[in-house]
């Protein structure tokens, strides 16, 4: 049986490939979607990858995941550091939620060192480029089979 999984991305992640490639790499958003869906199939997941620049939309998607007990890989983007609305929606999770970041926030500006989402996530993967998503999907698989 295939398990539905959300990979939710916050602001500016749709600009992957052109946005600060020295920080976020050269993989495009379409490449990220392909990476997640391909690995998801190998892991028995039906991966639904979404991106928004709208905080309210991301909150609605987290509510949808909570209501449907859908596991989530979440890259909140800049919302990571200050959105208590995203944090509160993530806290309502009814399945594992893995916070993910392409770069290592602790190796960047001071304001990026705090995540309001991390305390309510199952775990966090950061600093491995697009590979952070692969590691997060594998972590979800492990969480769901334990």
Q: Just list the catalytic residues.
A: 24, 101
Q: Residue 146 burial by CB count (10 A; 0-12/13-18/19+): exposed, middle or buried?
A: exposed
Consult the annotation and say whether 81 binds a ligand. Answer: yes
Euclidean distance between CA atoms 102 and 65, whole angstroms:
22
Euclidean distance between CA atoms 133 and 28, whole angstroms:
14
Half-sphere exposure of 35 (CA within 13 A, CB side): 17
Consult the annotation and say whether 48 binds a ligand. Answer: no
Consult the annotation and say whether 88 binds a ligand. Answer: yes
Whole-number Cα distances in Å, 8 to 70, 98, 107, 135: 12, 10, 23, 15
Euclidean distance between CA atoms 61 and 90, whole angstroms:
10
Consult the annotation and say whether 102 binds a ligand. Answer: yes
Residues of each annotated binding site for substrate: 75, 81, 88, 102-103, 112
């Amino acid at each position: 049986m295939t398990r539905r999984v959300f990979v939710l991305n916050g602001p500016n992640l749709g600009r992957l490939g052109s946005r600060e490639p020295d920080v976020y790499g050269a993989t495009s958003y379409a490449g990220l979607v392909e990476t997640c869906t391909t690995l998801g199939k190998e892991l028995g997941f039906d991966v639904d990858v979404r991106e928004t620049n709208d905080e309210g939309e991301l909150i609605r998607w987290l509510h949808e995941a909570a209501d449907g007990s859908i596991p989530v890989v979440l890259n909140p983007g800049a919302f990571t550091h200050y959105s208590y609305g995203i944090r509160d929606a993530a806290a309502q999770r009814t399945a594992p939620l893995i916070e993910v970041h392409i770069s290592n926030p602790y190796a960047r500006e001071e304001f990026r060192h705090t995540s309001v989402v991390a305390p309510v996530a199952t775990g966090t993967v950061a600093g491995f480029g697009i590979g952070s998503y692969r590691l997060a999907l594998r972590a979800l698989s492990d969480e769901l089979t334990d």
